[in-house]
Structure formats: structure tokens, C-alpha cells
């Protein structure tokens, strides 16, 4: 499978999917740069008047609720509906799920619009599945990804979507298949928006790879391995943020295949 994963990375570079992002203010710059670094093409737009047009020209849509408000929630609902009409996959990043009732109410409405995939940390996936045993602390996870596997299985069955749980071990759950990735570096938790970049990269892969499970494994492996390799030359989170963009851009097949730690 690992050889397939590398081919998927090349497919994204070659096909350069256009990914439309309705995402939070904090990470927009990094998200756009992460998409560019892997060879995709980002667009950020949220005006109600152009949501329908955008879903016609883009190849996938990211909805990230990080800094949501009433106007942006309406943008998200229009965009997800239009993405569905145009058979474009849309990916949900439930930032801060469980932190406030408003977030949970918005997430419930979004789940009804059938995302192709969801990516979040364990606390968020647990909250989304109403399996929360732990209290969300802001946007950071206080649970391990392994604790959220049942919640991910539930979401997969209930909403027909693939789920990626980010954490020390990343877990990809889809239709009875489960994969675990043990790449990454703890310093990645000290940079804002790593998860948001992972979601955007996931969208780029799902946009152009037919096998959705492999797409998700490739996308998740790419950012985790890039982070792991970038951390080796990083004195702290500032340089890691920069080095990850460089590594997403210049990672080689040898680096990828030598470092991937994938298991069922």
C-alpha cells in the first residue's frame, strides 16, 4: 500500500486540485500555504453571493468552524449544500466541538449535509459523536486518539463518512477499515493550525484520488512525516512552522517510504 500512497502524492502534485476553504481566520495563511506546498491550488471565499459559483469551479470544499459566526455559518450551509448538488466532496473540521452549545448546534446542522470526511482531534471526534467522556479544553485535545475510535466508527456508520482522528497516533476509520499512523512529533502541538492544514490536505487528496481510504492515509501520512522530518531541524515551534511548509514541498519518495509507520 505504501507505494500507492506515494503515487497519490504525485497525483495531487500533477492534478493540482482547486480546494475552496471556508476556514478560520487564525490559520488561513498557513492553510493556503500548505495547499500550495503539496501542489494544490487554494481559494478562500465565504460571500453568500458566490458560494454556488465557487462549488462549480472547485474540486473539493473544506468547512472549518474555528472562528464561526452567524454569517459564516450561513456560508458553510450554502456551500455544503451546493457542493452536494455538484457532487463535490466536502470535508468537515469540527474545531472546538463540545466547547460551546452554539458550536454543537452548528455541527449538528452540518452533519446532516453529509460530509465526505471529518478530521479532528480525539476530544472533537468524541464531542461530535456525543461520546464525550472528557471536557474539551479550548481547541486542544485532552483525550488520546485511540479513545475516540468507537466515536469515529459511530460517525462513519451514522453519516457514511470517513473519519481521521489526529493525535500522537493518527487513526483513519472508514467502512470497517482502520489504519494507524505513528508519525509526527510532539512539537507539532505547539503550532496553531496543524490540524487545519491536515484537513485541507485531506480535501486535496479526496478531490482527486478515487480510493478515499487510501487518499486519507496518504494525506495524513504526508503531513505527519513532513512534521516529523521538519522537527529535526527546528529549534522551536516558529522554525517548525516554516520547515513543515518546506518539507511538504520538497519531500522525496525515499524520505516518505523510509519513515512511514503504518499499521492496521
Asked if 28 touches a second copy (CB under 8 A), the answer is yes
Asked if 37 touches a second copy (CB under 8 A), the answer is yes
Asked if 246 touches a second copy (CB under 8 A), the answer is yes
Return the residues of window 148-187 that contact a second copy according to CB under 8 A.
none
C-alpha Rg value of the chain to the nearest Å: 17
- Give the span between the Cα atoms of 202 and 264, in whole angstroms: 19
Task: Give the binding range for a second copy (CB under 8 A) out of 6-14, 38-46, 156-164, 177-185.
Answer: 38-46
Give min distance, CB of 109 to a second copy, in A. Answer: 13
Give min distance, CB of 200 to a second copy, in A. Answer: 12
Q: How many chain residues touch a second copy (CB under 8 A)?
A: 63
Residue 31 has which C-alpha cell?
A: 492553510
Q: In this structure, are residues 226 and 251 in contact, taking their beta carbons and an 8 Å threshold?
A: yes
Q: In the β-sheet with 170-174, what is the strand arrangement from edge to edge?
A: 41-44, 18-22, 60-64, 90-93, 117-121, 162-166, 170-174, 177-181, 262-263
Asked if 250 touches a second copy (CB under 8 A), the answer is yes
Quick one: 83 or 172, whose CB is closer to a second copy? Answer: 83
Contacting a second copy (CB under 8 A), which of 137, 157, 160, 211? 137
Any residues with CB less than 8 A from the CB of 59 and at least 6 apart, and which? Answer: 17, 18, 19, 88, 207, 208
Contacting a second copy (CB under 8 A), which of 33, 169, 185, 220? 33
Contacting a second copy (CB under 8 A), which of 41, 84, 134, 177? 41
Return the residues of window 85-114 that contact a second copy according to CB under 8 A.
96, 99-103
Quick one: 48 or 130, whose CB is closer to a second copy? Answer: 48
Asked if 57 touches a second copy (CB under 8 A), the answer is yes
Residue 24 has which C-alpha cell?
A: 478560520
Any residues with CB less than 8 A from the CB of 20 and at least 6 apart, and which? Answer: 43, 44, 45, 54, 55, 58, 60, 61, 62, 79
Asked if 232 touches a second copy (CB under 8 A), the answer is no
Quick one: 67 or 84, whose CB is closer to a second copy? Answer: 67
Contacting a second copy (CB under 8 A), which of 70, 186, 210, 252? 70
Coarse DSSP helix, strand, coil percentages of the chain, rounded to the nearest 5 percent: 55, 15, 30
Any residues with CB less than 8 A from the CB of 100 and at least 6 apart, and which? Answer: none
* Residues of this chain that bind a second copy (CB under 8 A): 18, 24-30, 32-33, 36-37, 41-50, 53-54, 57-58, 66-71, 96, 99-103, 137-140, 189-193, 234-239, 241-250
Amino acid at each position: 500500500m505504501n507505494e500507492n500512497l506515494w503515487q497519490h502524492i504525485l497525483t495531487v502534485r500533477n492534478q493540482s486540485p482547486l480546494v475552496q476553504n471556508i476556514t478560520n481566520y487564525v490559520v488561513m495563511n498557513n492553510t493556503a500555504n500548505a495547499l500550495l506546498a503539496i501542489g494544490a491550488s487554494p481559494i478562500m471565499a465565504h460571500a453568500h453571493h458566490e458560494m454556488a459559483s465557487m462549488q462549480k469551479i472547485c474540486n473539493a470544499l473544506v468547512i472549518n468552524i474555528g472562528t464561526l459566526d452567524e454569517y459564516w455559518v450561513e456560508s458553510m450551509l450554502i456551500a455544503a449544500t451546493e457542493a452536494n448538488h455538484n457532487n463535490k466532496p466536502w470535508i468537515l473540521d469540527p474545531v472546538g466541538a463540545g466547547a460551546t452549545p452554539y458550536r454543537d448546534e452548528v455541527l449538528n446542522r452540518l452533519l446532516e449535509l453529509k460530509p465526505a470526511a471529518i478530521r479532528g482531534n480525539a476530544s472533537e471526534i468524541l464531542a461530535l459523536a456525543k461520546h464525550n467522556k472528557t471536557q474539551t479544553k479550548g481547541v486542544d485535545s485532552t483525550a488520546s486518539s485511540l479513545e475516540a475510535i468507537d466515536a469515529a466508527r459511530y460517525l462513519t456508520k451514522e453519516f457514511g463518512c470517513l473519519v481521521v482522528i489526529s493525535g500522537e497516533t493518527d487513526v483513519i476509520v472508514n467502512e470497517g477499515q482502520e489504519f494507524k499512523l505513528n508519525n509526527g512529533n510532539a512539537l507539532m502541538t505547539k503550532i496553531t493550525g496543524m490540524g487545519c492544514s491536515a484537513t485541507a490536505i485531506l480535501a486535496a487528496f479526496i478531490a482527486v484520488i478515487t480510493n478515499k481510504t487510501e487518499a486519507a492515509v496518504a494525506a495524513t501520512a504526508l503531513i505527519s512525516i513532513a512534521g516529523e522530518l521538519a522537527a529535526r531541524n527546528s529549534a522551536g515551534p516558529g522554525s517548525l512552522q516554516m520547515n513543515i511548509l518546506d518539507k511538504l514541498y520538497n519531500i522525496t519518495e525515499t524520505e516518505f517510504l523510509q519513515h512511514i509507520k503504518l499499521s492496521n
